[in-house]
């Protein structure tokens, strides 16, 4: 089989390429703008060329401003249809509700709907929030001892990128499942739990302070974050407050045969002095 992986120069796609290559038996083609097979989400012709002759596509979603992400995904779906890719293993998110406040719930929901209309066989990984990504919100707390986030008392089932990549790789080598797999970490953590993990790793007290959205937006903008990411993070926490990220599933064990990595282990690089 010829398996192509988008986002291959990134964290998740790179791990999927390594896993598939190590498994052997298939031809693996890593796609990004800079790879040996250049594929640019902004350039439909390059996507068609890259996907010609591909049996299975691991579609690692695009990132950045949502309007652009929608265009990128539309180009990818068109290329899938035009080249006759047989199976798409798509990365999506736990929250795909088009009515969610989260900007990427919309882009992922639209992607899943577009893929289902192609007639191509699809297996979907609906990943929870990446532990390593979420740990970025801990950085400010390191200096102040206060984790100031607008999460209320909601929980998040943070999952390591490595587990997400392992699930994508397993699905890429399997028969299409035709369904969405909720891929989560081993537990739904409150922000008090997240603060406690950081406190233990840094050997310093860290407490969670629930802040309202305007306060979060102001503190995020003050830290130098761009308007887009300030908005995107605020929309993500609005979705968290609506309890859209607290599901815990057994999919990592079912698909990979091993338990998902806990939050503290997934973030070891960040949590040590
Ligand atoms: N669930 C979560 O918590 C969460 C958090 C963050 C992100 N995500 C999603 O998960 C995806 C994978 O995460 P990651 O950490 O692996 O991301 P990453 O390390 O930033 O990798 C992004 C990849 O996208 C490629 N890319 C960017 N623009 C492109 C373009 N115009 N055409 C073709 N390729 C392009 C990059 O390749 P080049 O730049 O080399 O071309 C790179 O390989 C993200 O893209 C995002 O959709 C989910």
CATH number at residue 13: 3.40.50.720
- Does residue 97 belong to any structural domain of this protein? yes
11 lines ligand 1 (CB under 6 A): yes
First to last CA, the chain: 44
Whole-number pLDDT of residue 100:
98
Kindly state the percentage of the chain with pLDDT values over 70: 98
Task: Give the pairing of strands 189-190 and 155-156.
Answer: antiparallel
Q: How many angstroms separate the CA atoms of 153 and 173, rounded?
A: 39
64 lines ligand 1 (CB under 6 A): no
- Does residue 227 belong to any structural domain of this protein? no
Ligand 1 nearest-atom number relative to CA 69: 47
Q: What is the dihedral of CA 112, 118, 121, 125, to 10 degrees?
A: -10
Work out how many domains the chain is built from and give that number: 1
Domain assignment of residue 89, given as a range: 2-130+159-185+246-266
Ligand 1 nearest-atom number relative to CA 42: 31
Whole-number pLDDT of residue 35:
83
Closest CA to 204 of 155, 149, 147: 147
- Does residue 137 belong to any structural domain of this protein? no
Q: How many angstroms separate the CA atoms of 50 and 71, rounded?
A: 18
- Does residue 75 belong to any structural domain of this protein? yes
Rg (CA), the chain: 19
Whole-number pLDDT of residue 139:
87
Report the nearest-CA residue for atom 19 of ligand 1: 10
Whole-number pLDDT of residue 37:
84
- Does residue 207 belong to any structural domain of this protein? no
Could you tell me the mean pLDDT of each successive run of 10 residues in the chain, 273 residues long? 97 98 97 91 98 98 97 98 98 98 98 96 98 93 94 98 98 98 98 95 93 98 97 98 98 98 84 49
- Does residue 60 belong to any structural domain of this protein? yes
- Does residue 114 belong to any structural domain of this protein? yes
- Does residue 21 belong to any structural domain of this protein? yes
Whole-number pLDDT of residue 143:
86
| Residue whose CB lies within 8 A of the most ligand 1 atoms, among 4, 5, 6, 7, for a mutation test | 7
As given in the structure block, the two tokens for residue 90 are 């798509």
Over residues 113-159, the pLDDT tens digits come to: 999 999 999 999 999 999 999 999 998 898 899 999 999 999 999 99
271 sits in the region (left: phi over 0; alpha: psi -120 to 50; else beta) called alpha
Whole-number pLDDT of residue 273:
45
CA angle, residues 126, 130, 136, in degrees to nearest 5: 155
Ligand 1 nearest-atom number relative to CA 40: 32
Whole-number pLDDT of residue 270:
62
41 lines ligand 1 (CB under 6 A): yes
Whole-number pLDDT of residue 140:
85
């Amino acid at each position: 089989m010829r398996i192509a992986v988008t986002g291959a120069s990134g964290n998740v796609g790179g791990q999927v390429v390594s896993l598939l290559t190590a498994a052997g038996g298939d031809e693996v083609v890593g796609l990004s703008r800079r790879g040996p097979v250049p594929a640019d989400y902004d350039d439909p012709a390059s996507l068609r060329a890259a996907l010609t002759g591909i049996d299975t596509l691991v579609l690692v979603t695009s990132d950045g401003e949502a309007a652009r992400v929608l265009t990128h995904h539309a180009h990818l779906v068109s290329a899938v249809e035009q080249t006759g890719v047989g199976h798409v293993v798509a990365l999506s998110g736990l929250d795909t509700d088009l009515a969610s406040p989260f900007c990427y719930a919309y882009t992922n929901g639209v992607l899943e709907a577009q893929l289902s209309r192609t007639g191509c066989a699809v297996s979907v990984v609906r990943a929870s929030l990446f532990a390593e990504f979420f740990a970025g919100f801990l950085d400010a707390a390191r200096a102040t001892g206060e984790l100031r986030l607008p999460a209320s008392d909601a929980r998040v089932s943070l999952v390591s990128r490595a587990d997400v990549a392992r699930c994508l790789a397993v699905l890429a080598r399997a028969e299409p499942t035709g369904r969405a797999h909720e891929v989560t970490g081993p537990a739904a953590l409150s922000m008090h739990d997240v603060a406690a993990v950081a406190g233990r790793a840094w050997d310093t007290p860290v407490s969670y302070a629930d802040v309202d959205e305007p306060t979060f937006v102001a503190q995020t903008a003050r830290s130098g974050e761009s308007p887009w990411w300030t908005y995107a993070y605020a929309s993500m926490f609005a979705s968290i407050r609506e309890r859209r990220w607290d599901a815990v599933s057994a999919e990592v064990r079912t698909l990979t045969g091993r338990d998902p990595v806990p939050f503290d282990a997934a973030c070891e690089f960040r949590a040590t002095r």
